[in-house]
Each structure stands twice: as C-alpha cells, then as structure tokens.
Amino acid sequence: MTREDNMDGRRRTGDNWRRIDIGIDYPFSQLPQGDVELFPYGVLEVKLQTAAGQDPPGWIRELTASHLVEAVPKFSKFIHGTASMFPSRINLLPFWMPQMDVDIRKPVSHNFGLMRPGHSTETSTSAAMDEDTDEELDQEDDGDAEDIEDDKNLQRLRDARDALEQHEQERFLEQANGDANVLDEEERMAHKPIAHADEDYPLYDSDDEEEELAEAKRVGGRTYRWKLARKHVTLAGDKILDVLKQATPMPKPTQIPDREGRMGIPAGRGVSEKRFKAPPGKKIHVPVRVEPKVSFAVERTFLAWLEFSIILGSIAATLLNFGDSISLASAWAFTIVAVLALFYSMGIYLWRVRNLTKRRAVNYHDKWGPSALCAGLAVAVAISFAFRFSKGGEGGLKEMSRGGGGGGGVQY
C-alpha cells in the first residue's frame, strides 16, 4: 500500500495521474518510510449469498475454524491502508487494527489434503533429468514422462479425497457415539475461564463516556455537573454490586473436560483477554449487524410499556372519578407511576432507535426499568391500602352499597 496523495504538500505523483517510482522490488526501499505500508498477510475473500438467518455452508465454517485462515469479517485493504497512513486525519479505527502485531498462526488441527506440488518427496523420471538429457529423449520417452506426471497428480487428488472422507467419517462416528449433552466447540470456548490479558482476543474500549465527560468539563455548567454526578453514582452502584456478589454464596461451576480432537479440531489454548484502548480522540469501529427483527422487538417493547401506562392511567381515572376523598391519594400515586412509565418508555425507545440507526455496539438491555416500574406500582398499591386502613375501612364500595341499598330502586 503506497501513498499517492498530496495532502501534506508533497507532490508524489508529479505531473502524472499515478505514482511512477513504486517499482516491483520488495520491500520498496526506494520509497520513504511513511509512504509505504507492508501488509504481511494474504487475503482470501469469500462472498456468500445466504438468506436472513441462514448459516453459511459447512466447508466455510470448517475452514474458518481451522489453522489455515484467520476470519476477519468485512475486512478492507483500503480502510486498513487509510487507517495506517493517515492516523491524524481519522477518528474511527477498524476493529482488526489491534491484532496486526499478533501472530495469527495456529497449530495444525488436521490434514486437509493440501500440499505444495513442488515440495513432493517423490521424484519423477522427467524431474531427475537435466535440460541436456531432455533434448536427447525421443517422442516416446516424453510421452512416458507425461504419463508419470499425470499419474502422480491423480494420486495426489486421491490422497486429498481420502483424507477428506476419513475426516468426515471420524466426525460422523464422534457425533454418533458421543454424549448428546456434550458441548460443541463454540459452547466449550464460551464456558472457558478468561485468563491473563496477554493473548490475541482483544476487547475494544473506545472510552466514549470519558470523552463526553471531558467535553462537558470544557463547556462547564449544569451539563458537566450532571454527567459528573451520574459517573459517581454509577461507580458507587458498581462497587455496591461487587460487594453484594462477593458476600452472596454462589455454587462453584463444574469443570467440563475438554475433548481433544473433537470434530478434527484440537482443544486450543485457553481463551484469554487483551484490552486495546483507542488513542485519545479516536474510537474503534466495531461492525454491528442489525437484524430487521431487532427493530420490531424495540417497537413491541415500547408498545408493551405504553399499554401498561394506559392501564395504570385508567385505574387512576377510575379512582379519581368514582372514589371518595380517600381514593384521591391512590389516584395521584397511580397517575404519577403511569406518567413516569410513559416518559421513560418513550426515552428508552428513542435512545434505542438512535443507536440502531448509527449501528452502535452498546448494551440495549434495560437493567433498571422493569424493576423500577414494579417498585413504583408496589408503592402506589401500598399507599392505597395505607390510606384506606388508616380510616378504618370507611368509604369505597362498601359505603356506596350501604347508602343505596335501602331504597330498593330509583325514586322520582
């Protein structure tokens, strides 16, 4: 990858439409160090045409799980070159940038039947002869040499086919004889504990909250005080939750033994964690695939909250219109809960829609909303019962039935 722009005042292309001093001699030592980016890997691009929710073919999954390749979805050499050569002009870093200094080579899982034809240990009649000897051969000897080469190529193809058939047979036998409850490779990797942060599975931190707090600090005023208070409240809540988790007795998980060589893939190294923090002022762009059902789920959640708010509002209106003076406090309590639930659901819905539109990798789970709604509803019911029992159970439907029971009907 080479620079051909003139952004820094240097004319790299001269009067031509392209740069002519690149050449073809690796490692392009004639170019300045900042004008060339050496990409140390080969790129195998596989394009799939699958329907929504459809899994890729089996050979794709087997290939990406093998030692032959390292899966990098949505990789782009243009984006990589731009991020490498223009670090001061971009704000988003591609998610694969932290792994460029990590050795992606993996131990050989099993033989796929792939080999280099030039590295064969067998020697043929034509390969053992030099050019002078080849000139002295007649037409019949040339035909024999070609037949030998064809036979060896066919033998290599047969060996590759036999290796694949043997691998498929081993997979079938393991699935037939194995325990149906045994975890597959993905589940087994997910259940492994996270080790020290020194390996090639990075977690991407962009520090969005810290950047927002720093920006609010420069502006000052009420916004900065509110963001600072929210940060301290969040930190205090996290510490309280950590203390409660440590104090609560938890059952120890059962260690699941690894099955070496299951499905032809060896049990690899323990999954460990490596954190990569983006430089100040930059964020890491993590590709997020938004399924259509996610948008419908967000709308259904908002409609469910809206329905619940309408029910609470109806209860409050009933108590206000058909109740006595004691029911007024209960009506106010239910009204406040209904209004808070309505505004909260609208705010959460707008926040989720905005993040889905921008394809942000944020946590869409509502951790406190349902709990707060249940707590508010419990408080409203408690207020209703407290006021009613404080008056000795007077009023309500009981008094209404007593007052209208003696007439026997409507009098004119």
Beta strands in 237-273 (DSSP E): none
* C-alpha–C-alpha distance, residues 184 and 188, integer Å: 6
Beta strands in 193-297 (DSSP E): 202-205, 274-277, 283-285
Phi, psi of 52 (to 5 degrees): -65, 125
Beta bridge partners of 204: 276
Distance (Å) of CA 386 to CA 327, 329, 343, 378, 392: 11, 10, 27, 12, 10
Structure tokens at 228: 């600072």
Residue with the two structure tokens 């007795």: 249
Helix (H) or strand (E) holding 160: helix 139-177
| Residue 305 near residue 341, CB atoms below 8 Å | yes
Q: Name the CA dihedral angle for 166, 167, 170, 176, rounded to a multiple of 10 degrees.
A: -120
Q: Report helix, strand and coil shares of the chain as percent, to nearest 5.
A: 50, 5, 45
**Which member of 77, 217, 239, 293 is catalytic?**
77
CA angle in degrees (0–180, nearest 5) for 78-79-85? 85
Q: Are strands 283-285 and 92-94 parallel, antiparallel or unpaired?
A: parallel
- The interaxial angle of helices 327-357 and 292-322, nearest 10 deg, is 170
Handedness of CA 220, 223, 224, 229 (dihedral sign): positive
Q: What number of H helices and E strands is found in the chain? A: 11, 4
Greatest distance between any 2 Cα atoms in the chain: 135
* C-alpha–C-alpha distance, residues 193 and 196, integer Å: 10
Structure tokens at 266: 């060896």
Beta bridge partners of 93: 284
Is 192 catalytic? The answer is: no
| Residue 213 near residue 228, CB atoms below 8 Å | yes
Task: List active site positions.
Answer: 77
